[in-house]
Amino acid sequence: MKIYDGGKIIVGLIVFVGLFTFPFVYNIGKANVMPEPKINTPAINELTEKKCVESKQFMRAEHMQLLNQWRDWAVRKGERVYVNSEGKPYTISLQNTCMHCHSNKKEFCDQCHNYMAVNPYCWNCHIAPKEKES
């Protein structure tokens, strides 16, 4: 069997295979560093029951949506109280509620955000907490 214009076709196929196997090649020799968000801050260690405003499962999947709702409620409607699924009230505030416990942005927020290459625009308006350079 003869291949016509084989040179050009093979160059094209090499480009095709190169593009589609790019992640495999790019990751050769690179260790898979998994994100490890840490919750050992002074405020959290003081808590008797280590619990966020909602369950861990919920926060993991929905925190961005919750924060967006909090923004709308607090900034646009002036509502400052959030009652969670257990009926417990919390003050709606990124700075004073979320970051009070999670005062370790670098070891908590940034862990997964950097891993997933997402760049939330929280800190365009809010002041990021001051942290000791580790």
Task: Using CB under 8 A, list all residues that contact other proteins.
Answer: 1-6, 9-10, 12-13, 16-17, 20-24, 26-27, 30, 32-35, 60-62, 64-65, 67-68, 112, 115-121
Q: Indicate the Cα dihedral angle 85, 88, 91, 92, nearest 10°.
A: 0
- Nearer residue to other proteins within complex by CB, 9 or 83: 9
DSSP 36: -
Q: Quote the least distance from Cβ 19 to other proteins, whole Å.
A: 10
Q: Give me the least distance between CB of 48 and other proteins, in Å please.
A: 27
Measured in degrees and rounded to the nearest 5, phi and psi for residue 60 equal -60, -45
Quick one: tokens of 23? 């992640």
| Nearest approach, Cβ of residue 128 and other proteins (Å) | 17
DSSP 37: -
